Chains A and B, each alone.
Chain A
Amino acid sequence: MNKILEVENLTFKYEEEQEMPTLDGVSFAVHAGEWVSIIGQNGSGKSTTARAIDGLLENVSGSIKIDGEILSSENVWALRQKIGMVFQNPDNQFVGATVEDDVAFGMENQGIPREEMILRVDQALKQVNMLEFKGKEPARLSGGQKQRVAIAGIIALRPEIIILDEATSMLDPTGRAEIMRVIREIKAEYNLTVLSITHDLDEATLSDRVLVMRAGKIIKSAKPEELFGSGEDMVNIGLDMPFTSSLAEDLRANFNLPEKYLNEEELADILAERLRK
Chain B
Amino acid sequence: MSGKEGSGGFRKRKHDNFPHGQRREEKENVNPSSALMTSFKSFQLELDTRHDKYERLVKLSRDITIESKRTIFLLHRFTSAPNGEEILNESEVKLDAVRRKIKQVAQELIGEDMYQFHRAISPGLQEYVEAVSFQYFIKTRSLISVEEINKQLIFTVEDTEETTNTTSHSHDKQPHTWSLKVTPVDYLLGVADLTGELMRLCISSVGNGDIDTPFELSQFLCQIYDGFTFIGNTGPYEVSKKLYTLKQSLAKVENACYTLKVRGSEIPKHMLADVFSTKTEMIDQEEGLS
Asked whether A and B interact, the reply is: no
Chain A contacts to B: CB under 8 angstroms: none
Chain B contacts to A: CB under 8 angstroms: none
